[in-house]
Amino acid sequence: MSETRTHCPYCALQCAMTLSVDDDGPAGTAPTVSVAGAWFPTNRGRLCRKGATAAQLLGNRPDRLTAPLIRDSRESDLRETSWDEALDLVASRITALQRRHGPDAVGVFGSGSLTNEKAYTLGKFARTALRTSRIDYNGRFCMASAAKAATEVFGLDRGLPFPLTDLDEACTVVLFGSNVADTMPPFVQHLQRARDLGGLIVVDPRRSNTAQLTDGGAGHHIAPASGGDLPLLLSLAHVLLAEGLADERYLGRRTTGLEDFRRSVADWWPERAQAVCGVSALRIRWLARHLAAAARAAKAGGDPVVILTGRGVEQHRDGTDTAKAAISLALLLGLPGTGHGGYGTITGQGNGQGGREMGQKADQLPGLRSITDPADRETVAGRWGTTAEALPGAGVPATQLLHTLGTDRGVKALLVHGANVVVSAPDVLHVEQRLRALDLLVVCDFFRSETAAMADVVLPVLQWAEEDGTMTNLEGRVLRRRRAVTGPAGARSELWVLAELARRLGSTVPLAEQPEEVFAEIRRVTAGGRADYSGLDWDRCSEVAAYWPLRESLAEPLTEPLTRESAAETTTTGEPVLGTPRVFTDRFAHPDGRAHLGPITVREAQPASTHGLTLTTGRLMEHYQSGTQTRRVEELLDVHPEATVSVHPATAAQRGLAEGGRAELRSATGSARARVVLDAGLRTDTVFMPFHFAGAGAANRLTAGLLDPQSQMPEFKSTPVDLHPVGVGEDA
């Protein structure tokens, strides 16, 4: 029996767990997960149901992809083939397409599920072997708005700019559009003090499980209309400024742009906001004053005040402005970088943080460098052994990439690594149609996802505990994901697949195949970048708390790899801390050291009540994302076997719907069917669907792909819909 300490395959909390493996035969066995001790302070030995059942998906299951699959023609079924045949086919088709249409004829779609090593290699593969600009990833659907907002205001995109354990001390925590009770259950431990003090404030149009944590005097639930958050936030800022409650001294010392911001919130008096966000003016004033008092107390030696945002407020057409407004609120309160609290965004995917700094984003190079910045291009090209002229420019963001596949403006071939886009992208009926128009679709996965089922070539890869790698969690802490079992014989490591393809494409820039080698390269290439990983140590990741930026002079040999700026610091659990656990303590990341406030305008304020019904979407505790993984775990599927739509009982009665009945939803782009769940905790003007299901139950048949102009994040949380019962016999 062997025991391996590793981290969960799913969300950004990256809970620590121990895998106990009885007999690791060559085909791999499903290990038992034991809950790890308190050595990892982020989950302190707790797991959610998904993490606790994750090991069932390892090894040689009948539904596991164990050989490459190809299709002889569009009409024929996928059939098994050899790795040589599959890779030669992919390389020759890519070469032919690029010869005809140029390098940008081939696109790459990456993921926040990939380890740092894979995400980095994917970006390098696209830019050096494919020489295409057309790479983007599913983080565009997830973190793009918050990332853009933090980059603009703070000068740096690190989701939580402080360790999660800092929350343990907070007396007030405001969650804007985040349902951690379901999406990261062990996170809730860190809210205990705030709840004990009555200081948890949850802003959500649903009485989510997280909103219910405020019951019994533990805090307050505020339910704006879906999409009403921006006016709400601007109005909170208005009250702070109008009533002299903002921390003018802090603003003067640590920010610029206050006057522009002040002007833009000047006419967001609470009565006006109330009409568009559905939260009463009284409540808006109360919340602003309450936060100001808590912040003042914090700075007088009391407990910290923290403002956090999740996808509920970010996945909107105005998501960047909303995240900026939340950051601006924290700045008005004088919190970020003071040790008295601050702002953070709760990153979602397992490597949602590392995935957004390794260079798989259309406009990005590793280390959070910019592909349009001449100096950044020089640096990265030099370290890759190529020239800046040879690197492509910025590509197109994920939704445009998918919605133009096979058109004159779009790519003719697409390689997908770690996403199930026919379930999770906006307007999936359109995506499906575009995928069919491709000359070549290649999907790398370990299961036959709905997207893999449409591919011309499917390449089976190793997953999670079958391979080594590093992940960067929601705190910017870099963790080791260790190999615990042997994967199925026919599956290969994704790093090997990319290196082989590069070789077959005749690339002169070599790609490393071993995770540890790639990690060493990441250290070299990110050195001096904003997300600097150069001082990390492969063997000690996870044993120490190592947060980027973690610098190491490139010129010096790494004889003493882990002596860092703040090595003296320790977390509450006494682990040695390296790098930068708290990023904005002395200064913000802009060259002037200040946070940049600026004007924020509401583009399309609609009255909350004349909307008709608004669909919002999100997550259930038992399922993960497009469901490729969790829909295969019996005990998770049993709890939630099919798509549901939550409806307020009054709304249901009005539309002739009953609990357990079938409903059809219609939007401008399509229709979807789901089982009705009555939920008296929902606003009457809002319905909620999880997006974990495929086929007729896919929530994304209804979302339109309207984009935030600043981040190109699609609108997932606010879609006008119609809702009616499905007649008997109508539901085939």
Ligand X SMILES: Nc1nc2c(c(=O)[nH]1)N[C@H]1C(S)=C(S)[C@@H](COP(=O)(O)OP(=O)(O)OC[C@H]3O[C@@H](n4cnc5c(=O)[nH]c(N)nc54)[C@H](O)[C@@H]3O)O[C@H]1N2
User: Out of ligand X, Mo ion, ligand SF4, none, which partner does residue 646 contact, by CB within 5 to 8 A per kind?
Assistant: none
Q: Report the residue number, 554 or 668, with the smaller CB distance to ligand X.
A: 668
Task: Give the residue at shortest CB distance from ligand SF4.
Answer: 51
Among residue numbers 174 through 193, which ones bind ligand X (CB under 6 A)? Answer: 176-180, 182-184
Site for ligand X in 554-573 (CB under 6 A): none
Q: Which stretch binds Mo ion (CB under 5 A): 59-67, 343-351, 397-405, 505-513?
A: 343-351
d(CA 202, CA 196): 15
- Residue 42 or 719: the one with the smaller Cβ distance to ligand SF4 is 42
DSSP-based three-state secondary structure for 405: coil
| Residue 185 binding partner per list Mo ion, ligand X, ligand SF4, none, with a CB distance cut-off of 5 to 8 Å that depends on partner kind | ligand SF4
Comparison of 12 and 294: residue with beta carbon closer to ligand SF4: 12
**Taking a C-beta distance cutoff of 8 angstroms, is the pair 724, 655 a contact?**
yes
Q: Give the one residue of 699, 707, 713, 721 binding ligand X; rule: CB under 6 A.
A: 699
Binders of ligand X among 669-688, rule CB under 6 A?
A: 688
Neighbours of 405 (CB within 10 A): 26
Hey, which bits of 566-711 come out as E strands? Answer: 577-579, 595-596, 613-618, 644-647, 662-666, 671-678, 686-690
DSSP 112-179: TTS-HHHHHHHHHIIIIII--S-EEEGGGGTTHHHHHHHHHHTSS--SSSS-GGGGGG-SEEEEES--
Asked whether the beta carbons of 61 and 490 are under 8 A apart, the reply is no
Say which entry of ligand X, ligand SF4, Mo ion, none residue 644 contacts (CB below 5 to 8 A, set by partner kind). none
In the complex with Mo ion, which residue's Cβ is closer, 142 or 706? 142
Judged by CB under 6 A, the residue of 542, 617, 667, 711 near ligand X is 617
Does 348 sit near Mo ion (CB under 5 A)?
A: yes
Number of residues in contact with Mo ion, rule: CB under 5 A? 3
Q: Which of 93, 91, 67 minimizes the C-alpha distance to 79?
A: 67
Q: Which two tokens stand for residue 717?
A: 């949380």
Minimum CB distance to ligand SF4 smaller for 47 or for 232: 47
| Sole binder of ligand X in the list 117, 152, 166, 204 (CB under 6 A) | 204
Stretch that binds ligand X, among 98-106, 307-315, 386-394, 479-487 (CB under 6 A): 307-315
State the Cα–Cα distance between residues 686 and 96, nearest whole angstrom: 49
Only segment of 95-103, 275-283, 319-327, 344-352 that touches Mo ion (CB under 5 A): 344-352
Q: Does 625 bind ligand X (CB under 6 A)?
A: yes
Name which of ligand SF4, ligand X, Mo ion, none residue 47 binds, using a CB cut-off of 5 to 8 Å depending on partner kind: ligand SF4
The identity of residue 118, as a single letter, is K
Beta strands of 498-541 (E only): which ranges?
none
Question: Which of ligand X, Mo ion, ligand SF4, none has residue 519 at its interface (CB below 5 to 8 Å by kind)?
Answer: none
Nearest to 18 by CA among 41, 45, 56, 42: 45
Interaction of residue 693 with ligand X, rule CB under 6 A: no
- Cis bond upstream, residue 549 (ω within 30): yes
The verdict on 618 binding ligand X (CB under 6 A) reads yes
Burial 330-340 (b: 16+ CB within 10 A, else e): bbbbbbbbbeb
Beta-bridge mates of residue 481: 469
141 binds ligand X (CB under 6 A): yes
Decide if residue 349 touches ligand X (CB under 6 A): yes
Question: Quick check: 163 and 296 in contact, CB under 8 A?
Answer: no
Measured from the CB of residue 358, what is the shortest distance to ligand X in angstroms? 13
Q: Which residues bind ligand SF4 (CB under 6 A)?
A: 8, 10-11, 13-15, 43, 47-48, 50-51, 184-186
CB-CB neighbours of 216 under 10 Å: 9
Beta strands per DSSP E along 209-294:
219-222, 255-256
Give the Å distances, CA to CA, from 177 to 309, 312, 493.
Answer: 6, 4, 37
Amino acid sitting at position 306: V
Least CB distance to ligand SF4 at residue 629 (A): 10
Shortest distance in whole angstroms from residue 50 CB to ligand SF4? 4
Residue 717 CB, shortest distance to Mo ion, in Å, is 12
Q: Does 515 bind ligand X (CB under 6 A)?
A: no
Binding mask 437-466 for ligand X (x = CB under 6 A): -------xxxx-x-----------x-x---
CA distance 42 to 21: 24
Which one of ligand SF4, Mo ion, ligand X, none interacts with residue 186, CB within 5 to 8 A by kind?
ligand SF4
* C-alpha to C-alpha distances, 566 to 476, 546, 577, 686, nearest whole angstrom: 15, 10, 7, 47
CB of 356 to ligand SF4, least distance (A): 18
The type of residue at 69 is L
Put residue 48 in one of left, alpha, beta given phi > 0 → left and psi -120 to 50 → alpha. Answer: beta
- When the beta carbons of 209 and 400 are compared against ligand SF4, the nearer one is 209
Nearest CA among 40, 43, 10 for reference residue 545: 40
The residue (of 227 and 348) whose beta carbon lies closer to Mo ion is: 348
Cα–Cα distance between 192 and 66 in angstroms, integer?
45
Residues between 124 and 183 with contacts to Mo ion, criterion CB under 5 A: 142
Rounded to an integer, what distance in angstroms lies between the CA atom of residue 18 and that of residue 6?
6
Q: How far is the CB of 51 from ligand SF4 (least distance, A)?
A: 2
Closer CB to ligand X, 426 or 549, in the complex: 426
Q: How far is the CB of 187 from ligand SF4 (least distance, A)?
A: 7
- Any contact of residue 377 with ligand X (CB under 6 A)? no
- Burial state string for 297-314 with b = 16 or more CB within 10 A and e = fewer than 16: ebbeeebbbbbbbbbbbb
Report the distance separating Cα 537 and Cα 542, nearest Å: 10
Query: Of the two residues 186 and 348, which places its CB atom closer to Mo ion in the complex?
Result: 348
Report if residue 206 touches ligand X, rule: CB under 6 A: yes
Site residues (CB under 6 A) for ligand X?
A: 11, 111-114, 118, 138, 141-142, 176-180, 182-184, 203-206, 208, 224, 226-227, 229, 310-313, 315, 348-349, 417-420, 423-424, 444-447, 449, 461, 463, 494, 616-619, 621, 623-626, 628-629, 688, 691, 699-700, 703, 716-718
Site residues (CB under 5 A) for Mo ion?
A: 142, 348-349
